[in-house]
Amino acid sequence: MSNDKIIIGYTSGIFDLFHIGHLQILKQSKSMCDRLIVGVSTDELAFNLKGKSPIIPFNERFEIVQSIRYVDLAVPEIENNKISAWEKYKFDIIFKGDDWKGTERWLMLEKQFEMLGVKIHYFLYTQNTSSTIIREALNEHCKD
């Protein structure tokens, strides 16, 4: 029997208007862990975080994410509390876009996670594609 520890990873997002940036973060995250858990923000949480409702409803976004081969377990994310998520899922590494690196919130989380033995890995943010960019393009297209 092997003593190799299974590395559990965690990432989360709204995953509205699913695009290549979403796929890349899931693929890259899975490449760095044995088991990837992905939190999908509920419609209510998404509205609280962004001030607007997702275009794609939660149940559809959830089904998309859980169907992706890189995702071992999709879970509803009902609160924006990464420490609570760790308490539930006991992940070893958390993945986040580097647009959050250096923010007050994530600097605090880095200290908390360090005490828990959790690593944080920041991925390069996909500059050219985001749900916000797609939403703006759709709004502009619909004006024509």
Nearest of 89, 65, 73, 82 to residue 120 by alpha carbon: 82
Q: Specify the higher pLDDT residue, 42 or 134.
A: 42
Complete domains list, the chain, with CATH: 8-143 (3.40.50.620)
Distance CA 21, CA 71 (A): 15
**H helices within the chain, ranges in order?**
20-31, 43-50, 58-66, 82-89, 104-116, 131-143
CA dist list (Å): 95 to 31, 37, 51, 100, 135: 11, 10, 23, 11, 24
pLDDT tens figures, 47-96: 999 899 999 999 999 999 999 999 999 999 999 999 999 999 999 999 99
pTM for the predicted model, two decimal places: 0.86
